[in-house]
Every structure is written in structure tokens, then in C-alpha cells.
Amino acid sequence: MCVHGGPEAVESYIPILFFAAIAAIFPIVILLVMALLRPSAPNPTKLSPYECGVASATDAHDHRFSVRYYLIAVLFVVFDVETVFLFPWAVMYDKLLLFGLIEMAIFLYILVLGYVYVWKRGALSWA
């Protein structure tokens, strides 16, 4: 058996390259087709930021959001995504046995440690 592969190894990548090319070309083709098919009737009402009939009182750049808003949003995503890892563990719990239990205990410990750290830093205070 050859360690470096050969023509057979290259041929096995052809389907992957084919799907990668389709994945790269398909969105571009769809965007071009939709640019040709969509109606284009610009007018001042459609070009305004709001179509509710009420003119905007201020510019969008006048409203500055606190960094705390973005911090809470990022923290929510981080903790939400981390808890998604609990579902596969729960499904495979009967096969993982003690190893899975210890592994999940360590994972939850790190998760709670991060939560306590964020709490102590004041990132979860809403005021």
C-alpha cells in the first residue's frame, strides 16, 4: 500500500471539488438571475430609510448604544451555544457511562466558572 497516495487518491477528491465549485458558483448565479428578474422602480419613498410615512427625526448615527448591550448579546450567544453541547451528551449518556459523566461535569464546571467570572465583573447587571 502506498503511503503517499496516487491517482486513486486524487480521484477521490473530485466529488469534493465538484461540490465546492457548485457551492461557490450557485450563489453568484442566483444573485445575477435575481438582479435581472427583480422590478426596479426607485422613487424617493422607497429610497427613504422608513416607509411608514413618518420622516425620521434624527440620523441613525445619532443613537449610540452602550458597549454593555453588545457584551450581553455576545455572552448570550456564548452561553447558549455552549449549552447546545449538552444535548448530544444527553442522547449518548447510556453509552458514555462514567467517562461521559466526568467529562460533562468538567464541561459544566468550566461553564459555571465562566458564568461566575462574568457575573463578578458586572457584565450581567442591566443598569
pLDDT, one tens digit per residue, over 51-90 is 566 666 776 666 677 777 777 788 888 888 888 888 888 8
For residue 44, is it within any domain? yes
For residue 1, is it within any domain? no
Residue 79 belongs to what domain range? 7-57+64-120
Sequence-distant contacts of 120-123: CB under 8 A, at least 24 apart: 123/68, 123/71, 123/72, 123/75
Instruction: Pick the more confident residue, 112 or 22.
Output: 22
Q: Looking at the 3D structure of the chain, how many domains does it have?
A: 1
Whole-number pLDDT of residue 114: 84
- Whole-Å CA distances, 18 to 11, 12, 26, 99: 11, 11, 12, 41
Whole-number pLDDT of residue 74: 81
Instruction: Pick the more confident residue, 41 or 13.
Output: 13
Instruction: Please name which of 115, 126, 105 lies closest in space to residue 80, comparing C-alpha atoms.
Output: 115
pLDDT band at 127 (very low <50, low <70, confident <90, very high): very low
For residue 91, is it within any domain? yes
For residue 2, is it within any domain? no
Q: Which CATH number is 40's domain given?
A: 1.20.58
pLDDT band at 37 (very low <50, low <70, confident <90, very high): very high
For residue 71, is it within any domain? yes
For residue 73, is it within any domain? yes
- Residue 5 CA to residue 13 CA, distance in Å, equals 12
For residue 126, is it within any domain? no
